[in-house]
A = this chain, B = another copy of it.
């Protein structure tokens, strides 16, 4: 009852441990990991479990496994996917402010693009759904968790309107990043901080078929969020 992840599976736990070691730099890119048999003995589990853990690391792009040769650590900044982001942000124990800035730059790009597309393609029903979301945001003032979800729903609705399936796949990954790091962003939605003005402006611009205005409003939203976070750091 004391451990944080008692029922999470041996393989998963070991995979997380190794991932942490790699991200924190205890293994350098190019280094060879201990052999599966050694790791099995070290963690006192079966080799099968070690294999499963290593397979996950491989899927995450953190190591390269080659039959006959050793399993080597890759330069994960050159091979890992976005799903590594939450762990990268926590590598030093607290959020790295420079990465936070990078994240919000990308966020601004994505939101801006989606808003632009939405202004060109939205139908009446979609616009009403967006209105509804803004209304809920106003009602939810002071409920951080709810506001956070509504903010994400707004993004999701924009993607749906854009009709771009590739953006849809992309948002799946973003969602995972978002859920795993949600506490780190929760302060953004605290009482007196979050204001859906930009969302409101966005919907108005979409109704007016003003792509540029919609995009700019969403970018402003992302920019505001970053400034808020930086001010608190």
Contacts and interface: CB of A to CB of B under 8 A. Distances in A.
A170 to B, nearest CB: 6
B83 A81 contact: yes
B56 A172 contact: no
B83 A172 contact: no
Interface residues on A, range: 20 to 34
Interface stretch (A32-40, A101-109, A122-130): A101-109
A169 B109 contact: no
As for how many copies of this chain the complex holds, the number is 2
A55 B57 CA distance: 12
Q: Classify the secondary structure of A's interface with B.
A: helix
Contacts of A168: 77-78
A215 B167 CA distance: 20
Nearest to A169: B82
Interface string A54-71: 011001010000000000
A80 interface: yes
A187 to B, nearest CB: 20
A103 B166 contact: yes
A84 B169 CA distance: 8
Interface of A: 48, 51-52, 55-56, 59, 61, 77-85, 88, 99, 102-103, 105-106, 109, 113, 164-170, 172-173
Given A85-B166, A103-B166, 5 more contacts: A77-B168, A80-B169, A81-B82, A99-B166, A106-B170
17 contacts: A48-B48, A51-B52, A61-B172, A77-B165, A77-B169, A81-B173, A82-B166, A84-B169, A85-B166, A102-B164, A102-B165, A102-B166, A103-B166, A105-B166, A106-B164, A106-B167, A109-B113
